[in-house]
Amino acid sequence: MSDSKKREQEAIDAARVEIDRIDGEILRLLSERARHVRDIGDAKQRLGEPIYQPDREEKIFERLIAANPGPLDDGAIRRLFERILDEARRLERSVYRDDEDRGR
């Protein structure tokens, strides 16, 4: 392998180490986010409020897209956070379901 190819390969390996570190941080933040979502689900249930609040979700998208520094385009940011909010809704629903199962 030529020196320049070796340097390219080292740059790739170093970027992958960084990506693995970032993925670990994202996992930690997604889990922390999910704990708050679960708490909100519990509180909403006690208040008798609906889970799905499209206005709140639309505001989340708008704010994040306005703050998007790139290089991901706005469509990518929307698709990524749609997935995050989708999983949040799924988790909130499972909180409700568990309580129904227990006959609350």
List C-alpha distances in Å: 96 to 1, 3, 55, 86. Answer: 58, 59, 21, 16
Q: Is 83 in the site for a copy of itself (CB under 8 A)?
A: yes
Q: Which of residues 30-69 bind a copy of itself (CB under 8 A)?
A: 30-40, 43-44, 46-47, 56, 60, 63-64, 67-69
Least distance in angstroms from the C-beta of 3 to a copy of itself: 13
71: preceding bond cis by omega (within 30 degrees): yes
**Is-contact 41 95, C-beta < 8 A?**
yes
Minimum CB separation of residue 100 from a copy of itself in Å reads: 18
| Residue 48 contacts residue 68 (beta carbons within 8 Å) | no
Query: Scanning the structure block, which residue is given the tokens 């995050």?
Result: 84
Out of 57, 84, 89, 96, the residue judged to bind a copy of itself by CB under 8 A: 84
Which residues in this chain contact a copy of itself in the complex, by CB under 8 A? 5, 8-9, 11-12, 15-16, 18-20, 22-40, 43-44, 46-47, 56, 60, 63-64, 67-72, 76-77, 79-81, 83-84, 87, 90-91
